[in-house]
Amino acid sequence: HGYPPFEGTASFRKAITNWYFRRYNVKLDPDGEALPLLGSKEGLTHLALAYVNPGDLVLAPNPAYPAHFRGPLIAGGKIHSILLKPENDWIIDLGDIPDSVAEQAKILYFNYPSNPTGATAPREFFQDIVAFAKKYEIMLVHDLCYAELAFDGYQPTSLLEIPGGKDIGVEFHTMSKTYNMAGWRIGFVVGNSRIIQGLRTLKTNLDYGVFAALQSAAQTALQLPDEFLHQVQERYRQRRDFLIQGLGQLGWDVRKTLATMYLWVPCPLGVGSTDFALSVLQKTGVVVTPGNAFGSGGEGYVRVSLIAECERLGEALSRFQQAGISYHFLSLK
């Protein structure tokens, strides 16, 4: 019950780097290139506090997981939003970032597979973003929260697999999603040792790290056979297919996501995200997250989670039907 080591237990750090090698064939040094966190959200935000000075410019996609822009804002930074577009499959278009902005930017946060859009980015995108970051000397912060919640044979890409990725970036991982340990508060960051050192130094002034018993449990989780992962992936895949089909019967053409636990669903024509989410809640008691909660770029969409069993998702769909909610029609009355 004593304080755990600031830098995490040696055995958990070793389990992290072993897991990384097994998954991505990338060798990392457990002493400098891996750091346990009190959940990845904590690390994503504290990284900004460690590196962003008031007035510094940070690039973040819009829509994005809020910690990617709120962390830098809390640190006093300025955000340049990179608007994501459906016509680009919600993938960052690096050509949209003006030279003058890129030259000033200190950090770029990004996240594929993505929360909230469910988008995945091809390996070439990762190569391009590494080249971009090197050219403009920008720190890359990749959030690979959904590293293993992938379907149909898709394997998400790690920034550190890309040659040069580790020179300029770090990647955040969590035990919350694949391993269902969200309430336990444990995740980790891997990558460039100098960048990690800055975060570690800040954290030694803020916390004592993760309770050692949880690090031990997380180590066990990372060592589980792949069969466990396949079961989790299969469960989410079934829910994805079930919900896409059910929404299809209500007029929605929702694209199959290759990863994450979300569907990114367009609002009925002419209805805004907040109005739609509120109307759904009032008429059916079902909660969907308005897309604009992730930034203005999420307007016109809602995020639907696949965290309930198919039976419960079916209940939500039948309430939609009873309430007369479809893609083509929604009375806001």
Ligand X SMILES: Cc1ncc(COP(=O)(O)O)c(C=O)c1O
- Shortest spacing between CB 283 and ligand X, in angstroms: 26
Note whether 39 binds ligand X by CB under 6 A: yes
Q: What angle do CA 310, 303, 148 make, to 5 degrees?
A: 70
Note whether 118 binds ligand X by CB under 6 A: no
CB atoms within 10 A of CB 197: 14
- Shortest spacing between CB 237 and ligand X, in angstroms: 18
- Shortest spacing between CB 118 and ligand X, in angstroms: 11
**Can you read off the two tokens belonging to residue 58?**
């940070």
Select 70 or 78, whichever has its Cβ closest to ligand X.
Answer: 70
**Can you read off the two tokens belonging to residue 15?**
């389990």
Pick one of 9, 40, 273, 292: the residue that binds ligand X (CB under 6 A).
Answer: 40
User: How far is Cα 50 from Cα 197, in angstroms, rounded to an integer?
Assistant: 10
Select 79 or 330, whichever has its Cβ closest to ligand X.
Answer: 79
Select 45 or 284, whichever has its Cβ closest to ligand X.
Answer: 45
Note whether 115 binds ligand X by CB under 6 A: yes
Q: What angle do CA 49, 118, 250 make, to 5 degrees?
A: 140
Select 216 or 326, whichever has its Cβ closest to ligand X.
Answer: 216
The H or E element containing residue 5 is none
User: How far is Cα 332 from Cα 282, in angstroms, rounded to an integer?
Assistant: 10
Select 136 or 188, whichever has its Cβ closest to ligand X.
Answer: 188
Note whether 69 binds ligand X by CB under 6 A: no
CB 93, CB 113: distance < 8 Å? no
Note whether 111 binds ligand X by CB under 6 A: yes
- Shortest spacing between CB 104 and ligand X, in angstroms: 25
User: CB neighbours of 48 closer than 8 A, spacing ≥ 6?
Assistant: 58, 71, 72, 74, 75, 77, 107
Burial of 270 (0-12, 13-18, 19+ CB in 10 A): exposed
Note whether 233 binds ligand X by CB under 6 A: no
Binding range to ligand X, per CB under 6 A, among 33-41, 53-61, 71-79, 221-229: 33-41
CB atoms within 10 A of CB 251: 12
Note whether 215 binds ligand X by CB under 6 A: no
Site for ligand X in 158-197 (CB under 6 A): 174, 176, 182, 187
CB 186, CB 175: distance < 8 Å? yes
Name the residues that contact ligand X, by CB under 6 A. 39-41, 65, 111, 115, 143, 145, 174, 176, 182, 187
